[in-house]
Amino acid sequence: MSNSNKISVRKIKILSNQQGQRLDNYLRKLLTGVPNSLIYKIIRDGQVRVNSSRVKPLYRLQQNDLLRIPPVSVDLKQKSVSRFLVKDLKKFILVENDDFIIINKPPGISVHSGTNIKNDIISTLKTLEEYKSVTLVHRLDKNTSGCLILAKHYQAASDLGKIFQSGNVEKNYLSLLSGELSGDKIAVDHSLIRNKLNNAPSVSVSSSGKHALSYITLIKQFKQCCLVDIKIETGRMHQIRVHALSISQPVCGDTKYGNIEINEEMRKKGLKRIFLHAKKLSFFYKKQYIVESPTPEDLSLVIDNLKNEI
């Protein structure tokens, strides 16, 4: 028996709160689990039509556009969603209104689908009727926990995206860095650039990169590491991890940029993943929001074990 799920031809009328989206982005959100390559192929081949006409991927959808979507085969393994995960995600919601939800993202779960990813935040929420239109406003790495915002409709996604892009969001992370911080509060102002030569995405400090600024405030100094609050003024890929590395104090548990010896020592203290938790978000969207997520039990255990050493 085939492991694919045939979806019949669909015709969708674009609503007012959906207009303005690029066609390719709209289809990515609608066809959860379908590879980008297939999405672009069905657009390029004319299988996707808007008002019975061929369009390009960058076409901006307009209100009352009639969108034709052909049958698409989706690998069920890519759409596999755990009922257990759905149940837990409902418990992790910190804030919810008509426009967005903020969840306390658990570690070890990707925020969106990809190769070999069976369960992710977006696909899981989309299995629930009330969240079928959710989209990401920002991202957290798979093993990072904490506050994650998801918009419930396109207009909210657009408005919140502008707030994030303008830098009008205060983002604080709880982290454990190797070594001793040079002061109670330091600023790390190093531009970052993505390395395109590697198969696995990575980032490094470069004067030709994009501006990135982080403020690191000491919470508690331990023998081999320090517990810190990190406020990021920009939201570059792997910003905290690379900024920590740039001051020779990589994040404990970071297997990409971290220190092997320190990571091994921290594993003895119970650290089984990167010590990075999106602790707080503060922003204005119709009103002021200050949202905090509790420190996860796995990270609290590590902190307790380090305190017992003193």
State the catalytic residues: 141
Q: Residue 97 is encoded by which pair of tokens?
A: 């209104």
Contact 157, 149 (CB under 8 A): no
Alpha-carbon distance 299 to 253, whole Å?
11
Are the C-beta atoms of residues 202 and 238 closer than 8 Å to each other?
yes
In three-state secondary structure terms, 140 is coil
DSSP 220-282: EE-SSEEEEEEEESS--TTHHHHHHHHTT-PBTT-TTTS-HHHHHHHHHTT--S--EEEEEEE
Count Cβ atoms below 10 Å from residue 310 Cβ, excluding itself. 8
Scanning 190-280, the segments in alpha helix (DSSP H) are 239-246, 260-268
Three-class secondary structure of residue 166 per DSSP? coil
Lateral strand order in the sheet of 49-50: 10-13, 66-69, 49-50
122: left (phi over 0), alpha (psi -120 to 50) or beta: alpha
Helix axes 23-30, 36-44, angle to 10 degrees: 130
Tokens in use for 266? 């921290």
Tokens at 211, concatenated: 């501006």
How many whole angstroms separate alpha carbon 300 and alpha carbon 106? Answer: 14
